[in-house]
Amino acid sequence: MHSRFGSAAPITGDSMMSENAPPPHPVPFRSGLRVPVLTVLTETDVLGSRLGGYYEARVPDSKNLRVWEIAGAAHADNYLFGLGLRDSGSLSIEDLARGFTPTAVAAGGSLDKPVNTGLPHHYVVQAAIASLDRWLRTGMAPPHAPPLKVVAGAQPEYARDANGLVEGGVRTPWVDVPTVRLSGSGNSGGPLAMLAGVAEPFDAPTLDRLYPDGKPQFLRLFQHALDTSIQAGFILPADRAEILDVAAATYRNAQATTMPIAASTSAQHYTTAATPIGELLDNDAAKTILTKYVPNLVNSPQISQARGMTLKALQAYSPNLTDATLAAIDTELATLPQH
């Protein structure tokens, strides 16, 4: 089970994020699970979203339950918004490094802060899938993981280290030997912000303080932390070389790439690949075109969650958005006045 929150989906069929959804009510895993269940959670899922966090529904691991709460991970991130749509397993290290570099651009729109890179999330999920498969095939259960450390109170909050990173949980080199402050919450500027987390690169003085001997020291410490994560069972050995290469390629190159992409001052046509869905829906003529080709999408109560995405990005999650449909929409969008 991937990225659940604390409550269950309303039986009314309403979205958990809709105004009609009931207040969050903790729904823990039942005792005596009959089949193996491995749940992978991000900081956003445990604490930090208005949907009600898993923190309130926590139960201990059992014979058929393992819960991995990933430090430094967000419910949505760079990998989900873009890189994952291209990652066939054959991308170059340069392409991977570029895709994991902090950016405030998310699904065709821009948020106020750089979005979580997705590095801990992606690689831990890779290990989780393999671990669950082994559990089902051989009976060898995944390792237990400590929970993310939460300071209890009227408003529970995470315990953080001196670098602003959450303590506890599944540990990876990106939080134990960091160059970026990764978090599952704290963004703003659009409907996806509550899920996108943040990735704020450390400035040069901070990197100099953490790694006074520079890149060689960083890579040496990073490799040790990575091997510790692999030995613990939270990262696959097969991903080791790729992770080290990406770490080497991204050290100290993030600071200049974290600002939102500025909007072009020249007039442009609406397109399914570049124009956010929200912008299309806010234009009456463009909305009419969308209604003609994808009426169920336009009228969906969940469409507000996708306003920052483009139709092309949404295609990965909607089988009805075929290439032919997008091409037809683009043809008609091209007849509208430039904006």
What is the distance between the alpha carbons of residues 272 and 314, in angstroms, rounded to a whole number?
Answer: 10
Residue 339 predicted with pLDDT over 70: no
pTM, whole model, 2 decimals? 0.77
User: Residues 113-134: what's their mean pLDDT?
Assistant: 97
Confidence at residue 106, expressed as pLDDT on a 0 to 100 scale: 79
What is the structure's pLDDT at 321? Answer: 83
Cβ neighbors of 13 (< 8 A, separation 6 or more) are: none
Q: Tell me the mean pLDDT in the region 53-72.
A: 96
- Residues 268-324 have pLDDT tens digits of 789 998 888 888 999 999 999 999 999 988 988 767 667 767 888 777 667 678 989
Measured CA to CA in angstroms, residue 175 lies from 9, 70, 114, 277, 330 at distances of: 31, 10, 17, 34, 42
pLDDT, average across residues 212-240? 97
pLDDT at 45 over 50: yes
- Among the ranges given (72-76, 187-191, 217-221), the one the predictor scored with the smallest mean pLDDT: 187-191
Question: What is the rounded average pLDDT of the residues 84-96?
Answer: 86
HEC secondary structure over the chain: CECCCCCCCCCCCCCCCCCCCCCCCCCCCCCCCCCCEEEEECHHHHCCCCCCCHHHHCCCCECCEEEEEECCCCCCCHHHHHHHHHCCCCCCHHHHHHHHCCCCEECCEECCCCCCCCHHHHHHHHHHHHHHHHHHHHCCCCCCCCCECEECCCCCEECECCCCCECECECCHHHHCCCEEEECCCCCCCCCHHHHCEEEECCHHHHHHHCCCCHHHHHHHHHHHHHHHHHHCCCCHHHHHHHHHHHHHHCCCCHHHCCCCCCCCCCCCCCCCCCEHHHHHHCHHHHHHHHHHCHHHHCCCCHHHHCCCEHHHHHHHCCCCCHHHHHHHHHHHCCCCCC
**pLDDT 10s digits, 246-258:** 999 999 875 444 4
Which residues make beta-bridge pairs with 40? 2, 68
Q: What is the pLDDT of residue 254?
A: 54
Q: What are phi and psi of 9, to 5 degrees?
A: -65, 140
Per-residue model confidence (pLDDT) at position 16: 66
Assigned token pair, 151 = 């300071």
Residue 109 has what pLDDT? Answer: 72
pLDDT of residue 49: 66
Closest by CA position to 100, among listed 217, 210, 258: 258
Torsion of CA 84, 323, 276, 268, to 10 degrees: 120
pLDDT tens by residue, 256-266: 444 443 343 44
Q: Which of 59-73, 181-195, 305-319 has the lowest mean pLDDT?
A: 305-319
Per-residue model confidence (pLDDT) at position 319: 64
